[in-house]
Amino acid sequence: LLQNLSQTPVLRELLKEAKIPDTTVKIESPELFMEPQLVKLEQPGPLTLAMHQFLTEMQETKRGVVTPKELFAQVCKKAIRFKGYQQQDSQELLRYLLDGMRAEE
């Protein structure tokens, strides 16, 4: 799941820009009939920053192994159901991760 997210250029670019407080990003739709949207971003929250840090490490690491420890800790703060290291559905994790970042906007 996280490897797939790390290969999503739009997400990486948005998180890079979201890291800068009070920035405005332009989101363009692939559909021609939709106008580009300008979104003003506030100070990024801890989950958003942890996601940015993790994706950056995945792109830049030479070690081959990246541990999402901080990202996982931030997800657990938003959704305590993930705390016990029990097996969870990846779709559920994705939903909590993206919803958590959206709630920080």
Confidence of residue 63 (pLDDT cuts 50, 70, 90): low
pLDDT of 22 strictly over 80: no
List pLDDT tens digits, range 23-48: 787 777 777 677 887 877 778 889 98
Query: How many distinct structural domains can be found in the chain?
Result: 1
Position with higher pLDDT, 97 vs 42 = 97
User: Whole domain around residue 63: which residue ranges?
Assistant: 1-103
Do residues 88 and 97 make contact, with C-beta atoms less than 8 angstroms apart? no
Phi-psi domain of 92 (left: phi exceeds 0; alpha: psi -120 through 50; beta: other): alpha
Position with higher pLDDT, 40 vs 8 = 8
- pLDDT score recorded for residue 83: 76
